[in-house]
Chain A
Amino acid sequence: MSMRVIQPGLLSLIQDGGRHGRHNIGLTTGGPMDGQAFAICNRLLGNAPGSTLIEVSFGGMQLEAQVDTYICVTGAEIPLTINGRDAALWQSHRVLAGDTIALEFASAGCRAYLGVVGGFDIPLSFGSSATVMREHIGGLAGDKLHAGDQLACKTVTEHRCKQLPPEHQPRYHDSVTVRVIPGYQQSHFSRLQQRRFFSHTYEVSDRCDRMGYRLQGPAIDCDIKGILSEGICHGAIQIPADGQPIVLLNDRQTIGGYPKIGSALSLDTHALAQLRPGGKVFFAPISTHAAHNALHLARSYILRQPIRECPP
């Protein structure tokens, strides 16, 4: 009972909610770069939050169903076909053994999530199926998907197809405002440098991946050049010697010695992770208090989303 990978595409990775509680041995978190699209995919399929899905970056993936089940694709705008027929994103679809599921290439955004009812059944590594290629941990043998891989999933005959109404579907633009919680070494950045950081546009450079997004724009100067290596949280914005900010994301190293001006709100790193090189980023300060409110509202919004059954 499985899906067989016919074509893996540019970068397709098994991901669940991420690996937590193992920073003490140097393992990073992994998990979905766009946690919002990931959460909605599981919700449309009726799965428990954090169930194992495939994160498809840029597209180009083809699967063959070897089981009757239901699939759903959310995230980047990628044409989806089932046996050559167009199928909508943000809704679940029936597939039968022998069907071919194909994703072309993304026209807006760059990461999509493909899931099945019940999630893929992938052995856990340190409590999680999340693939971190740099660590060779998680997924299938710690690597991205390859042609011929078999992804175990169960036969499902009972499921009512659901959709997220178009007016509630996220839209992916080529610019993003990232809210930043002040913290870490922020006091070592002068007021002038902080004003520069929060008032200019930065551009996503070619060096953007699951570890972090390196940006280009006015250089930010810090009073100190290095610090004793310390723990790095998700979203931390590191300013290395060249002054160009790096937003550290899911596959970041767990400790590092560059000063950090603050940390990006996860709700906005989801949108950031959908940007490609050349995308524009603005930073806006937000208090920890406001950040917590935003997280609670976002969770409540996910739970209240008016998911409806598809017309027959």
Chain B
Amino acid sequence: MTTDIHSAGENSLIVYLGDSTSPQVSARVQSTAQKITRALGDALIDLVPSYASLLVIYDPLQTDHFHVHQAIRSVLHTLDEAEDALTQGNRVTLPVYYSAESGEDLLTLAANSGLTPEDVIRIHCEQEYRVYAIGFAPGFAYLGEVDERIAAPRLSTPRQRVPRGAVAIADRQTAVYPAVSPGGWNLIGLCPLRMFDPDSDPTMPIAVGDIVCFEAVDRDHFFALGGELP
């Protein structure tokens, strides 16, 4: 697997840990992030882990790019696959009320895939997903990978308003919208749990590297869990 360190900006370097999306590369990103956090201490300002890269933001008045580059190289030397594999996140199960009333695109997605809505739900629930990245909006987690049979391209015209909790698919990724926002993903259901709550600790039920499963719940159970229809 190829690794590479590039300059990103006046206070950041980006570490590439592979060139495709895979659980192995993602584990390597996680493991690198943990080690860099320890190696840089106070000089580290922020980290952005993503699918196959890690952006390292440092304080250029406390340290310099030579030092940070060297620290990252040392960390990369100590990585090994067996150890990466142990960098496992939590397993989190998210309840979802899948239906035409809670997921506007469920019937269209099923029809376009040549499946019944029940098949789409079953296939979406069968898979385990890895949290590859968090971004776009606070708490928006990119989960992969969706079974090819239910992968669907983004809508040609994004919606102005996607409800909070919407469970959606775009290509081979799936996500739960943490807040009302515009969005072009295919909506298939609603999750009654808060995916981002600034007032609770932890703020999010999931983090990069975690494994997420979806569990279908019926309408009554959805309401009992605090769900609301938009």
Q: Hey, which bits of chain A sit against chain B, CB under 8 A? A: 20-27, 125-126, 134-137, 181-184, 228-236, 253-256, 262-266, 288-289, 291-292, 295-296, 299
Inside 8 A of B137's CB, which chain A residues have their CB? 26, 134-135, 253
- The answer to whether B21 touches A228 (Cβ under 8 A) is yes
> Would A235 and B196 count as touching, CB distance under 8 A?
no
On chain B, the number of residues with a Cβ less than 8 Å from chain A's Cβ atoms is 43
How far apart sit A229 and B141, CA to CA, in the bound complex (Å)?
A: 12
With A22-B46, A299-B61 as known contacts, state yes or no: A229 contacts B133, CB within 8 Å: yes
Most chain A CB atoms below 10 A, which of B10, B19, B20, B179: B10
A69 shortest CB reach to chain B, Å: 30
Q: Are B142 and A235 in contact (CB under 8 A)?
A: no
B107 sits at the interface (CB 8 A): no
In contact, B64 and A25 (Cβ under 8 angstroms):
no
A231 and B55 form a contact (CB under 8 A): yes
Complex-state Cα separation, A22 to B12, whole angstroms: 16
**Given A228-B50, A229-B133, A230-B50, are A25 and B10 also a contact pair (CB < 8 Å)?**
no
Q: What are 28 residue pairs bridging A and B, where the CB atoms are less than 8 Å apart in the complex?
A: A20-B46, A21-B45, A25-B134, A25-B207, A26-B137, A135-B137, A135-B138, A181-B7, A181-B10, A184-B14, A228-B20, A230-B51, A231-B8, A231-B50, A231-B54, A232-B48, A233-B55, A235-B10, A255-B50, A255-B136, A262-B9, A263-B12, A264-B9, A288-B7, A291-B10, A292-B10, A292-B64, A295-B61
Cα distance, A265 to B65, chains bound together (Å)? 15
The answer to whether B203 has its CB under 8 Å from any CB of chain A is yes
Report whether B8 and A184 are in contact in the complex, using a CB–CB cutoff of 8 Å.
yes
**B133 and A233 form a contact (CB under 8 A):** no
The answer for the CA separation of A265 and B207 in the assembled complex, in Å, is 31
With A135-B137, A229-B142, A230-B55 known as contacts, the answer to whether A295 contacts B47 (CB < 8 A) is no
Top 6 closest pairs, chain A to chain B, by CB: A231-B55, A231-B48, A263-B9, A255-B135, A183-B7, A233-B9
CB distance from A125 to the nearest CB of B (A): 6
C-alpha gap A236/B179 in the complex (Å): 26
